[in-house]
Structure formats: structure tokens, C-alpha cells
Amino acid sequence: MNKPYSSRRRFVQGLSAGGALAALGGWRAALAQTPSMAPATDPHATELRGTEFHLEIGETPVNFTGAARVATTVNGQLPAPTLRWREGDTVTLHVTNRLREQTSIHWHGIILPSNMDGVPGLSFDGIDPGQTYTYRFDVRQSGTYWYHSHSGFQEQTGLYGAIVIDPRRRDPIASDRDYTLLLSDWTDEDPMRLFHKLKVMPDYYNRIQPSVQSLRADAQARGWRAALSERLMWEQMRMNPSDLADVSGATYTFLTNGATPAGNWTGLFTPGERIRLRIINGSAMTYFDVRIPGLKMTVVAADGLDVRPVDVDEFRIGVAETYDVIVEPQDARAYTIFSQAMDRSGYARATLAPRADMQAEVPALDSVQLLGMMDMGMSHGTGTAPGMDMPPDGGKSHDGGTSHDAGSSHGMAMSHDMTGMVEVKHPYPAERGVGNSMLPDVVSTSLADPGVGLRNNGRRVLTYADLRSIREPADNREPSREIELHLTGNMERYMWSFNGVKFSDAKPILLRYGERVRFVLVNDTMMTHPIHLHGLWSDLESPDGAFQVRKHTITLNPAQRLSYRVSADARGHWAYHCHLLYHMEAGMFRAVVVE
């Protein structure tokens, strides 16, 4: 049920104190709900530098909404301390588990040996209660990254932090100030209970579902015939055009550096300075659309790597992605850093200001844009209805992804038209089974679509088509084979997978050490997914097959087809998964073995 407006507003915006209260105060401090924490203005207050680190994972009382809860923290902090490394150094990290359950830390986007990657049951055994695990590896890159737990739902309960790696030589991206902004989503609910709710009622947190009122408004704008026809089509497909996010502001409070919107994390500047903002999406489930009203942003890095500078008003940042931007405020006034959830159910907020006591107006949330037929991959307004073409085996195929020669078109009829759409066939038996309720007729190959909610909004919005790496990969060979994977899901049953096969039933994807492979991803679903391959870089291709940009996490819009090249240059067992935490837990996960 919806909460009364006054309490709902407090829940979304949070207490002005926000954040993790010091463990020294314990539960008494948490229950006091006293707004005693001043807005953070020192970017190095929770930063650890050097080559050797001691990190303790434990529990800390927090109070974001007026209700005392317990978070999973590192050294008693939420977010975890920012780790500042230097390219070329060897870092040693002693991680001690003070929890009553197993834990882990994954160093997201960091290139390292497989046994240092931190995925229990795949690359190491995990860290048992009371035990210490020592990570040690050479730092072979620079830029903005992050770290988080890969155990259960600990990432949702607070175990995440930023990593900033200074280049060995002078940084080509000059700035007068350097701030890290880590965006996240917090729920007062037990994540396991939240997950069970989704399994029973997947639209439990959807507060923007079609209603009689919305039908009437649509009819007034388009006429009753068109409105009723479209509503009937969605009903027949048993799909919902408002399924933009599984988990929303109905339970989430959105944070910037651990501060609620009311808490208002603040970074200081002097007019005329050049400020670098390292923006990390460390949330469990939330895509954020980020803008700073009154300031242009120049995007200079994506996923830690430099890109050709591009000026934008706004960008969408997927879960686990990072973007570095430069802003240059000229006026002695405050600016709001506004990060609204993709489904417009809430926002994270921070401020840039000459003084800590200054604030700027917070924009209203944009109106919700619903999914359309093209987002569903429907050609000529029709498509395959759910449940059709069930294979004889009921979708029990145990495929690991189809591999074929790079020059062939296995499973894909490459009939391009002027709109960049591609007809798509569905070659996997399990893809047509109960684990997948949507089979698009066509998918987009375009990198220039900003996604639902950002189209034609009057602002200059970043797209993948704008991102171009400064340097080409050292290994830029043409791939010798392709591996095609379909992102599949059944929202009604909350099932998520690759090719209709969940992780527990899937075979690993095998790569030969030293080979160059093209991964082709086809998003069968009506949701946006961030796909992350551990241990190996993903070289995103343009629609015509040219190298575009190197990333560690790649977002796919609904009914979109993307391809990227991967050099299998690191032996071991690597995770490959959707970075929406509850999708990964539900089965959208594979093991990649380089041998």
C-alpha cells in the first residue's frame, strides 16, 4: 500500500542526518534520530591511501528514514572507505570478516589474477566468519572504479566503496578539485524478504501501473479507439508498459556518498575552478539519470578509461558503470547534482557550492515515459505473444551460448533497414520456454538511443554513440568466432537468465587463452540490463563493426542488439552476469572459463 504523503516524502528524501552512525554510539545513537551529521565537504574524509590496507567487514547501525536498521559496512562506514591507489604499485588488502556469515569483496573493473577477483564458489572459497583473506595484486590501470561484496545481498545492505587509481605519469585530465560521487539505493527491508516479494508478486513495488485514470488521460490525448487498442494489446501480451524498474522508490531511499537527499552531501568550489566528478553507480537495482541544472558536463572517462571529451546536459548511468565529468562553475552560487531514478520514483541529490551552508533548488522529477511497441521489438505493431512456440522439452535445454564462425549469421537474419532495426530469430529451444515471456521480432542495433525516459526531453543526453576511446586496444584483431547470448526473462514469474537457462542449469562459456571472440547480446526482455564480464575488457563495436569504446559493464536497452570483442588474455574462472542484483540472484549469470 502507498504510504501517507508526509511519511512517504520523509522516506524518499531521508533524514537530514542520513548515513551510518558511528558504531561507538551503537543502537542508542541510531534510535535517537538526531540530525547531528553535517553535510560532507571533505572529499578525503573517508579515503585510504597507500599500498597496504586493513579492511574489516561488519555490522553498523544506520538510520536513513527514521527507522533504525543494521548495515553491512567496511571499517564501520557506508559507503566503504574510498581506496586511492597508484598505477604500477602492488597493493595488499587484508580483509577480515566480523559477520556471522561468509563474505567477499570483488574489485569491479580491476584487471587481476582470477583468485583475487573475489567471487565465492567461482574464483575463491569466500571469507568465513572470523577469518582474514589477503588480496594482493599489481595495479595495471588508472581511473575510477569501485568494489563491493559478491556474497548474497550484502551489496544491497551497504558493502560497496569507490576506488580511485592515480596514473603513473601526469594525469592528462587536469582539474583543480576532484570529488567522488557514489550513487546507491537503500531499503529498510530485509533484501531476502524483498526478493521473495518479487518472486510472488513481481510488480509489488511498481506504483506507476496503468489505471483507469491513465486510460482516460491517454484517450483524451489520442482518442478512445487508439487508447483502448493499445491497452488491449498489452493485456493480451500479459506485459506492462510501466515495467521500468523491479524495485523502486516505494522501498528505496537514494543516496549520494551515503547521504540522503535531505542529508545533501556538499562539495565546495571556488568560481572558475575546474572540478572533476567521478560518478559511480554502486546501487543494487537503480539506473540513474544525472544532470546539474545550470552546468554543462564534459564526459572525459567511462568505466575508468579516458574517452574523447563530449559535452552533455545529462547522462544515464547503469548499475556498476562509472563516468568522470568535468564542470566549471563560474558563478558563486550553489548547483544541485540531481540523479533521478529511471522510473522517476525518487532521486539522489548532492550539491556543489562555494560554502557548505548554500543550497540550490531541487528540480521536479521528470514525468514517466512508458515503454512503446518499438521497445518491445514489435514489427508493424505486432509481436509474438507470451507462451507461444513452447519447445517439446519445455525449455530444458542446457546450452552455454552458441559459438560460430565470425562471418556467419547463425540465428540472426541480418535484414537491416533505414532505422537500424534487425530482424531477429530465436535459435535456442530454452529461449522459447517458460523462462522467457518475450520474443521480439526486431531489435535495434543503434547506439544513439538514450533510452526510455530520456528521448526528446530538450536536453543534450549522452549515448554510447558519443563514447569513443582515446586509444584503440593493443589487441584489436578481428574475432575468430562469435558467441551469441539472449537476455531472457519472465516478469510474471520473476525468472531471469541467458538463453532461457538459469545459472544453476547452464554450462560454462569456454574461451581459449589468447583468442579474440565477439560476444553478441540480444535483449529479448522489456527491461534495461547492465552486463558485466569479470577479468576481461569488453570492446564495444559500432553497428558497422568498428571499435567504439572499451568498457567493463555494458547496458542494453529493451529489444536491443549489441556486440563487443573480448581478448581472452587472463586464465581462470570469471563471472559474467547482469549487475541488477536480484536478476543475478534469479539466474542471469554464467561462468566464463579461460583455459
Give 134-164 pLDDT, tens digit per residue: 999 999 999 999 999 999 999 999 999 999 9
Distance CA 514, CA 511 (A): 9
- Among 173, 197, 213, give the residue marking a domain's end: 173
**Domain-embedded: residue 182:** no
The pLDDT tens digits of the residues spanning 210-269 come to 655 565 666 677 776 665 666 566 555 556 776 789 999 999 999 999 999 999 999 999
Predicted pLDDT of residue 3: 41
**Domain-embedded: residue 163:** yes
Record the cell numbers describing residue 483, joined without a space. Answer: 558467441
**Domain-embedded: residue 322:** no
- Among 173, 199, 234, give the residue marking a domain's end: 173
Distance in Å from the first CA to the final CA of the chain:
52
Domain that holds residue 485: 374-594
- Considering only CA atoms, which of 422, 476, 451 is closest in space to residue 555? 451
Residue, of 10 and 372, whose pLDDT is higher:
372
> Does the pLDDT value for residue 119 go beyond 90?
yes
**Domain-embedded: residue 529:** yes
Residue, of 479 and 434, whose pLDDT is higher:
479
> pLDDT band for position 51 (50/70/90)?
very high
Predicted pLDDT of residue 8: 55
Distance CA 572, CA 119 (A): 12
**Domain-embedded: residue 253:** no
Record the cell numbers describing residue 31, joined without a space. Answer: 534510535
Instruction: Say what percent of the chain tops pLDDT 70.
Output: 81
> Is 500 within 8 Å of 522 (Cβ atoms)?
no
Distance CA 330, CA 126 (A): 49
Instruction: Say what percent of the chain tops pLDDT 90.
Output: 72
Please name the residue ranges forming H helices in 311-470.
Answer: none
Residues with Cβ within 8 Å of residue 401, at least 6 apart in sequence: 483, 484, 485, 498, 499, 509, 590
Residue, of 17 and 347, whose pLDDT is higher:
347
Average pLDDT of the residues of the chain: 86
**Domain-embedded: residue 32:** yes
> Does the pLDDT value for residue 559 go beyond 60?
yes
Q: Which DSSP helix (H) or strand (E) runs through 59?
A: strand 52-62
Predicted pLDDT of residue 430: 87
- Among 151, 173, 195, give the residue marking a domain's end: 173
Q: How buried is 523 (Cβ within 10 angstroms: 0-12 exposed, 13-18 middle, 19+ buried)?
A: buried
Predicted pLDDT of residue 416: 32
> Model pTM greater than 0.75?
yes
> pLDDT band for position 207 (50/70/90)?
confident
Buried b (16+ CB within 10 A) or exposed e, 89-117: eebebebbbebeebbbbbbbbbbbebebb
The CATH number of the domain where 555 resides is what? 2.60.40.420
Predicted pLDDT of residue 237: 55
Residues with Cβ within 8 Å of residue 307, at least 6 apart in sequence: 299, 300, 301, 467, 468, 469, 470, 549
Structurally, how many domains does the chain consist of?
2
Record the cell numbers describing residue 281, joined without a space. Answer: 553507480
**Domain-embedded: residue 198:** no
Residues with Cβ within 8 Å of residue 562, at least 6 apart in sequence: 445, 447, 520, 521, 540, 541, 554, 556
> pLDDT band for position 433 (50/70/90)?
confident
Predicted pLDDT of residue 17: 59
Distance CA 315, CA 325 (A): 10
**Domain-embedded: residue 304:** no
